[in-house]
Structure 1
Amino acid sequence: MSEFRFEADVIHWRGPSPYFFAPLPLDHAEEIRRLSKLLSYGWGVIAVDATIGGVPFYTSLFPKDDTYLLPLKDAVRKKTGITAGDTIAVEMTLRPPRR
């Protein structure tokens, strides 16, 4: 599957379910959007394996505006000390959907 490396500024979503995300760079989002029909398991969501600060985790990208958001699980944030406004380095591999 496709592998990506990028830096992103962490944002805090203060909606009904507060969460932290790393928005993907637009060039990566464009490439992922081209692959999305093969990879999405519904609603445009795409499964990924990601590593931040040496901490690997599994999650799913969410389409938002012109990009995708990488959710940052609390367990990952606590291990790495990540919070809103931090710039993080991300390694990410797209996963085929489980059908």
Structure 2
Amino acid sequence: MELTFAGEIWFWRGPAPWHFVTVPDDESDAIETVASLITYGWGMVPVTVRIGGSEWTTSLWPKDGGYIVPIKAWVRAAEQLDVGDAVEVRLTVGA
């Protein structure tokens, strides 16, 4: 399954800081239809992500009935992104 959506980068301080983009409701619903077939536990869903010219593998994190995409530091540096920036995210689910 391939999905494309726009979102804003946000920061979670938590015990370990992370940057994320929230997957919109419609795309989260589509992911949920296949999640039970591909999750490896805790609701984590493996994906390949592309933002700009950067591509990497990671897992979607479940949050508030939907999913969030962790954005790695090297991606933010390579694409010159910061908190509040709007990005286009391309996901290949189950990668």
| TM-score bucket (shorter structure) | over 0.9
What amino acid maps onto 1:38 in structure 2?
Answer: L
TM-score (normalizing by structure 1): 0.92
Q: Report % sequence identity.
A: 37
Secondary structure (helix, strand or coil) at the match of 1:10 reads strand
Match of residue 9 from structure 1? 8
1:51 aligned onto 2:36: no
CA positional deviation for 1:66: 2.3
1-side partners of 2:90 and 2:60: how far apart?
13
CA positional deviation for 1:54: 1.2
Structure 2 residues not aligned, in runs of 5+: none
Aligned length: 95
CA positional deviation for 1:46: 0.5
Match of residue 34 from structure 2? 35
2-side partners of 1:34 and 1:91: how far apart?
18
Structure 1 residues not aligned, in runs of 5+: none
Secondary structure (helix, strand or coil) at the match of 1:35 reads helix
How well do the aligned residues superpose, as a CA RMSD in angstroms? Answer: 0.9
2-side partners of 1:76 and 1:9: how far apart?
14
Encode CA deviations 1:33-66: one digit per residue, 9 max, x unaligned.
1211101000000110011011111110000002
Which aligned segments of 4 or more residues in structure 1 are displaced greater than 2 angstroms?
Answer: none
